[in-house]
Amino acid sequence: MSHPQFLPRNAPDFWNHIQDLYTAIIHHPFNQELAEGTLARDRFLYYIQQDALYLIEYGKALSLLAARSDSPKRMRDFIRFASGIFTVEEAMHQIYFTEYGVKDPIQIKSPACFAYTHFLLATVSLRSYEEGVASILPCFWVYREVGLFIYRAAVKPNPFECWIETYAGKDFGEATERAIEILEEAVGSTSELTRSRMLDAFVTSTRLEWLFWDSAYRMEKWKP
């Protein structure tokens, strides 16, 4: 199992609360089969298209946090996070869209994508800045750890190598460490009540991360 590489003073407490969720994520058939290179093409394509829709809304959430921050340094961090998403991860999506011949990607969010993005946007807009910081962190931290876990376990060559290298890479790792530092800063300057609410937001986003992968594996559709 991959272990978090960057654990400041308060961050381990947050990570400890999602250990069972993280274990469920790395052992989910989607990620196990991705590491083995056996994940069905249609499942991965479904995931990539939903991820592209998710990242548009995630970029909005990061931009809202930049606007709500009182620190120019943190404003720059959130703007850089959003910019990185639309350069690095969007480029990775385009590689797979080209490879799979996707000219018109899906434009309708799955139930899981809808739930996750609306939770993020509601939290960063309507809850405290600190809760917003906690809500956006699993997309960094969990993905960094999953990326590293799969990188170590993956067969080579692997048809999903570009995805693996994106999330196990140095640039994404450094961005994750900055995001954890922001959480650490927010935790250190807030009340116990807000800290508890931050933890709730962090755990909820992690649950939604699991649901996003599970939704892709099932190729979830709206009912009815």
Domain containing residue 184: 11-218
pLDDT score for 11: 72
Q: Is the pLDDT of residue 4 over 80?
A: no
Average pLDDT on 27-51 reads: 97
pLDDT tens digits for range 177-190: 999 999 999 999 89
pLDDT score for 10: 57
4 occurs within a structural domain: no
Domain count, the chain: 1
* pTM of the predicted protein model: 0.94
CA distance 124 to 122: 6
Q: Is the pLDDT of residue 157 over 80?
A: yes
pLDDT score for 9: 52
95 occurs within a structural domain: yes
84 occurs within a structural domain: yes
**Secondary structure of residue 102 in the 3-state scheme:** coil
CATH number at residue 116: 1.20.910.10
pLDDT score for 1: 42
Of 113-122, 131-140, 185-194, give the lowest mean pLDDT range: 185-194
pLDDT score for 85: 86
5 occurs within a structural domain: no
Measure Cα distances from 109 to 45, 92, 130, 223 in Å: 14, 19, 27, 13
Q: Band the pLDDT of 45: cuts 50, 70, 90.
A: very high
Q: Tell which wins on pLDDT, 116 or 85.
A: 116
CA distance 64 to 131: 13
pLDDT score for 5: 47
223 occurs within a structural domain: no
Q: Is the pLDDT of residue 7 over 70?
A: no
